[in-house]
Structure 1
């Protein structure tokens, strides 16, 4: 799954059934991306460059609204556990760090 942040600041979770990847796709800079995520109630800026925090609860809620398989809850839990093992989960477990991916230059 990934979180798309449009140039207008609109935020949406895409491909919510895919629990094998997580990133943020946007053409906005990291500060504007963090602000858009905050405004949408989905996260906010992170201390790392080209990353942002995503609210685990809000991300789960948004991702599960789409078409997801019956085993999605288990795959979601595995994704969050992987993020924790990699150090990408906040100490309190409420936020997960996601890398911001920018479009390739034309």
Structure 2
């Protein structure tokens, strides 16, 4: 799964959650936006924030944005497995409210 922050209409960044059926990885992809613009867009979307070179995504909000309306029967189980894998790596807050994710920047590509 990828959370993208890309340039949107009127030069205002927009947030999109894509590849929602691929629950084997999760990262935050920044298009031609600054970290500050990405942080602002994520906060405005209610999906999280950027701190330094790390993204922090709200677990419940991300699930709500990512879960397909007609999801495969095992989607919820695969979501839970992804979160548990992240927890095992230390990438989930103690209360489970936030997932720490890797940033990929198009500007650095």
Tell me the TM-score normalised to structure 1 length: 0.87
Q: Which runs of structure 1 show a deviation greater than 6 angstroms over 4 or more consecutive aligned residues?
A: none
Which structure dedicates a bigger proportion of its chain to helix? 2
Unaligned runs of 5+ in 2: none
Runs of at least 5 residues in structure 1 that lack an aligned partner in the other structure: none
Q: CA RMSD in A?
A: 1.7
Instruction: List per-residue Cα deviations over 1:20-53 (Å, max 9, x = no partner).
Output: 010011132323212210011011123xx32111
Residue 94 (str. 1) matches residue 100 (str. 2): no
- SS of the counterpart of 1:10? strand
CA distance in structure 2 between the aligned counterparts of 1:79 and 1:105, rounded to whole angstroms:
27
Instruction: Report the equivalent of 1:25.
Output: 29
Structure that is richer in strand per residue: 2
Could you tell me the TM-score, scaled by structure 2's length?
Answer: 0.85
